[in-house]
């Protein structure tokens, strides 16, 4: 028997509506009652959690691990270490790898690789369309059997509304949710930054808010029509928030996700052409940031995620137009959200923040993670909500360095990450 | 005027103060005078190496920079996109660092991506002169426009300058807007709503889609070329309709005040944005712009490339 007691922490377990000072007991890798420690002679690991929050292991449901195919950006192993360092015990990886995760064999490869090398739980997603090219349906049923938790063409967006409708209907039968990167290709064109004041000033091709909202609207219509769950990834505009609010009030099975950079920064940041501010969807205007904050506060937007998108220095250090979209985020997202949502703007309390990182994604993906129920796998994140720290880019665990947050001071972070009862990361 | 020039690079007019812009224009006066001499060459950049690095095609601007460098006694090499290793997959950064390893002192860059000169300016010891980056800036073109206006009208402040055409995709328009606003001109942008979005009003200019209302009170009209190569056809219904609504035809030119200057950065599409007779008429200063461009570029090369060692 192995046992751990996490003592004197504030245990916040939204799944069980629990928030109180307590000890948390782990026996043989699972959450247990204190009475389950039958052999007091054996060594019991003691962890002092006074002044810390003891939370269910956090879930980031939007991560690019880059394997197979792009191991120079990130590997499943290094991405998992970054997740652990950020307080995440479960991460959901996107299928835009090489080859694309659109067959059961690629899913099996990812799962094997994760089992062999990842220190956190890695849950794969499969592509909606073959080769994420938006033209033919992928083998959605077989992908579900192979163990994907969702299907998505993330990074791409199916433009053919009829094809998308069939995907949603089919996914409903199979029982997997759809995650969608909302981008109308005609409206967005070759846009690289938010269409507005700064794109006008700098002469950079604009990515209009309507390019996201048109697809959010499409997804609302299809979720309603097909009575199935569609999740809008990385929502960025005030218009999207308005559409989602109205649809959710009618009970449409639609959810929205927020990434930290879209509330921490505005498009003003692009003025020096630093490609670490280039992401897709792009940084928006202050009015959009304000709308996202309100959407988080009133639960229109229910899920927080990083869209962790590693790229090598030599890939990012090019002309702005030519640089790939995306930034890493696993190791800074919890700090940013705690700092901005809980401390600075006071939009939500820490219990809701934990819920948005646990219960909400677990419910959407129908996975058993994100709870401290007795008998659940002992995935636990210890959080110091008041710890002030500074991001040091070169001390991050990710294999890539493409972050605009180097040197940022923030308040609050994970200090220990426990997966299946084992500490996989400790500050 | 005690302003001194302390910049390594000329990346755009947005970052310059009115004093700095005026200082360049005053320096240009001296170099314009050099062009009228029997011996048109001065030793200001003797021993310096200038690289004309044109990743996007250009004849006029490249030739102007090349001649300016010759007249300053610099050694000049020209590299274009097709002759550079960029076509072999080399990054812009690596190509530029190789040029620097050959001790290039000044890099004149034309590039299709906005921000490319900033990118290199931040990474190289050599001076970087922006010869046009995407739809962002074309500072020497705007400087020569400013110089020409100042030369012909004796001032810039208080004049009403009308810029007509494809503003959205125009680096010439942006640099002109930044420079003209800083020097106190009133600026009106005219063109189809798809190419002149209202967002431009936030840059301190007026926007109009009715050319006939604007022309009678213009002191300068600057016509921009309709850029076929950067143009997706859905921006306006066709060339005929463009000319009908926004072309400076003979008839429309009669609306202009007699002393209104007609400018164009070239190359001209005769019969599209401007009628042939208007382009060649008495109010046209299009060729003066070309002459002044040479003097402006000499001044810029001298200020950025020459001061470090003097």
Nearest CB to B114: which of A197, A318, A320? A320
Q: What is the pLDDT of residues A394-408, one digit of tens each?
A: 999 999 999 999 999
Q: β-pairing, A53-56 with A3-13?
A: parallel
Distances in Å between the Cα of A276 and the Cα atoms of A113, A175, A304, A405, B121 are 29, 37, 20, 9, 18
C-beta atoms of B202 and A203 within 8 A? no
Tell if the CB–CB gap between B199 and A196 is shorter than 8 Å.
yes
Phi and psi, residue A417, nearest 5°? -125, 125
pLDDT tens string A370-382 = 999 999 999 999 9
- Across all residues in chain A, what is the average pLDDT? 97
pLDDT over threshold 70, residue A427: yes
The verdict on pTM exceeding 0.90 is: yes
Whether residues A320 and B171 touch (CB distance < 8 A) is answered with: no
pLDDT for B3:
57
pLDDT tens per residue, range A261-273 = 999 999 999 999 9
The arrangement of strands across the sheet holding A121-124 comes to: A58-63, A88-93, A121-124
Question: Tokens 């995407």 — which residue?
Answer: B134
Q: Which residue of A has its CA nearest to B96?
A: A318
pLDDT of residue B135: 96
Q: Which of B115, B122, B138, B197 to mutate to test the interface with A (most CBs of A within 10 A)?
A: B115
Backbone angles phi, psi at B274, to 5 degrees: -150, 140
Which residue in chain A is spatially nearest to B204 when comparing CA positions?
A: A201
Quote ipTM for the complex.
0.93
Rounded to a whole number of angstroms, the distance from the CA of B116 to the nearest CA of chain A is: 5
When pLDDT is cut at 50, 70 and 90, the band that residue B309 belongs to is very low
d(CA A207, CA A195): 5
- Chain A residues at the B interface, defined by Cβ less than 8 Å, are 189, 196-197, 200-205, 272-273, 314, 317-322
Chain B nearest-CA residue for A316:
B91
Are the beta carbons of A373 and A73 closer than 8 angstroms?
no
Note whether B171 contacts A319, CB cutoff 8 Å.
no
- Check residue A352 and give its pLDDT: 98
For residue B250, give how far its alpha carbon lies from the nearest alpha carbon of chain A (Å): 32
Chain A and chain B share a number of CB contacts under 8 A equal to 58
Which residues from A are below 8 Å from B112, CB to CB? 321
Does the structure show a pLDDT above 90 at B80? no
Question: Which residues of chain B have a CB within 8 Å of the CB of A277?
Answer: none
User: CB–CB of A273 and B115 under 8 A?
Assistant: yes
Give which of A311, A422, A416 is closest to A58, Cα–Cα.
A416
Q: How far is CA A198 from CA A190, B232, B251, in A?
A: 16, 22, 38
* A307 has catalytic annotation: yes
Shortest CA gap A195–chain B (Å): 10
pLDDT tens profile B229-284: 555 567 888 888 999 999 999 999 999 999 999 999 989 999 999 999 999 999 99
Residues pairing with A342 in the sheet: none
Burial class (CB in 10 A: 0-12, 13-18, 19+), B96: buried
Mutate to test the interface with B, among A186, A198, A203, A273 (most CBs of B within 10 A): A203
Contacts of B197 in chain A (CB under 8 A): 200
How close is the nearest chain B Cα to the Cα of A274, in Å? 8
Most B CBs within 10 Å, among A200, A277, A278, A324, to test the B interface: A200
Q: What is the pLDDT of residue A235?
A: 98
pLDDT of residue B100: 84
Would you say A291 and A263 are in contact if contact means Cβ atoms under 8 Å apart? Answer: no
Residue A151 CB contacts under 8 Å (≥ 6 apart), including other chains: A125, A126, A127, A128, A138, A140, A143, A144, A167, A171, A176, A177, A178, A179
Choose, from A307, A339, A379, A384, the residue flagged as catalytic: A307
- Across the interface, do B114 and A203 touch by the CB < 8 Å criterion? yes
**How do residues A78-131 score in pLDDT, each as one tens digit?**
999 999 999 999 999 999 999 999 999 999 999 999 999 999 999 999 999 999
Q: What is the full DSSP assignment across A1-56?
A: --EEEEEEEEEEEGGGTEEEEEEEEEETTEEE-GGG---TTS-EEEEE-TTSEEEE
- Averaged pLDDT for residues A228-232: 98
The nearest CA of chain B is from the CA of A163 a distance in Å of 27
């Amino acid at each position: 028997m192995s046992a751990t007691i996490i003592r004197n922490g504030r245990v916040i377990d939204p799944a069980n509506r629990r928030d109180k000072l307590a000890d948390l007991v782990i026996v043989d890798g699972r959450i247990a009652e204190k009475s389950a420690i039958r052999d007091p002679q054996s060594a019991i690991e003691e962890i002092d959690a006074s002044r810390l929050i003891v939370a269910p292991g956090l879930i980031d449901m939007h991560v690019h691990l880059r394997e197979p195919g792009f191991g120079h950006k990130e590997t499943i192993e290094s991405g998992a270490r970054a997740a652990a360092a950020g307080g995440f015990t479960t991460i959901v990886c996107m299928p835009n790898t090489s080859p694309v995760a659109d067959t059961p064999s690629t899913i099996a490869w990812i799962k094997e690789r994760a089992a062999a090398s990842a220190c956190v739980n890695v849950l794969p997603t499969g592509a909606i369309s073959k080769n994420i090219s938006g033209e033919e349906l992928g083998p959605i049923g077989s992908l579900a059997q192979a163990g994907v938790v969702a299907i998505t063409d993330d990074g791409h967006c199916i433009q053919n509304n009829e094809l998308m409708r069939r995907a949603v209907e089919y996914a409903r039968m199979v029982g997997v949710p759809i995650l969608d990167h909302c981008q109308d290709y005609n409206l967005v064109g070759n846009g690289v930054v938010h269409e507005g004041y700064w794109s006008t000033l700098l002469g950079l091709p604009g990515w209009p808010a309507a390019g996201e909202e048109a697809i959010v609207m499409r997804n609302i219509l299809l979720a309603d029509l097909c009575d199935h769950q569609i999740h809008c990834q990385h929502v960025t505009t005030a218009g999207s928030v308005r559409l989602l609010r109205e649809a959710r009030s009618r009970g449409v099975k639609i959810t929205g996700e927020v990434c930290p950079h879209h509330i921490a920064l505005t498009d003003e940041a692009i003025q020096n052409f630093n490609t670490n501010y280039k992401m897709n969807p792009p940084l928006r205007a202050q009015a959009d940031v304000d709308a996202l904050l309100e959407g988080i506060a009133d639960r229109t937007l229910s899920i927080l995620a990083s869209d962790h998108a590693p790229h090598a220095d030599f890939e990012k250090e090019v002309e702005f137009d030519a640089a790939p979209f995306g930034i890493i985020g696993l190791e800074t997202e919890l700090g940013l959200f705690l700092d901005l949502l809980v401390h600075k703007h006071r939009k939500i309390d820490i219990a809701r923040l934990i819920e948005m990182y646990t219960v909400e994604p677990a419910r959407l993906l129908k996975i058993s993670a994100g709870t401290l129920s007795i008998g659940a796998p002992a995935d636990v994140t210890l959080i110091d909500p008041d710890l002030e720290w500074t991001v040091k880019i070169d001390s991050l665990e990710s294999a890539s360095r493409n972050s605009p947050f180097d040197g940022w001071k923030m308040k609050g972070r994970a200090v220990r990450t426990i997966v299946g009862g084992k500490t996989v990361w400790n500050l | 005027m005690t302003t001194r020039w302390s910049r390594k690079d000329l990346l755009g007019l947005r970052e310059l103060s009115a004093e700095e812009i005026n200082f360049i224009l005053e320096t240009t006066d001296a170099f314009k005078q050099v062009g009228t001499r029997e011996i048109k060459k001065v030793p200001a950049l003797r021993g310096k190496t200038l690289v004309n690095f044109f990743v996007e095609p250009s004849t006029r601007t490249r030739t102007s920079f090349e001649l300016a460098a010759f007249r300053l006694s610099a050694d000049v090499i020209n590299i274009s996109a097709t002759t550079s290793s960029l076509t072999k997959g080399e990054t812009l950064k690596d190509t530029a660092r190789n040029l620097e390893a050959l001790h290039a002192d000044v890099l004149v860059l034309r590039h299709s991506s906005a921000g490319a000169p900033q990118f290199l300016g931040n990474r190289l010891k050599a001076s970087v002169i922006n010869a046009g980056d995407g739809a962002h800036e074309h500072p020497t073109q705007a400087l020569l426009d400013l110089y020409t206006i100042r030369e012909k009208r004796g001032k810039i402040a208080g004049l009403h300058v009308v810029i007509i055409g494809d503003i959205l995709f125009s680096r010439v328009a942006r640099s002109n807007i930044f420079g003209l606003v800083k020097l106190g001109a009133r600026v009106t942008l005219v063109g189809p709503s798809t190419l002149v979005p209202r967002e431009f009003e936030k840059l301190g200019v007026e926007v109009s889609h009715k050319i006939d209302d604007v022309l009678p009170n213009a002191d300068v009209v600057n016509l921009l070329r309709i850029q076929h190569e950067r143009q997706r056809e859905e921006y306006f219904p066709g060339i005929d309709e463009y000319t009908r609504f926004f072309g400076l035809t003979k008839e429309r030119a009669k609306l202009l005040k007699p002393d209104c200057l007609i400018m164009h950065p070239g190359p001209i599409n005769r019969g599209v944005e401007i009628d042939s007779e208007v382009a060649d008429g008495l109010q046209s200063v299009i060729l003066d712009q070309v002459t002044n461009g040479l003097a402006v570029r000499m001044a810029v090369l001298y200020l950025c490339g020459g001061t470090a060692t003097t």
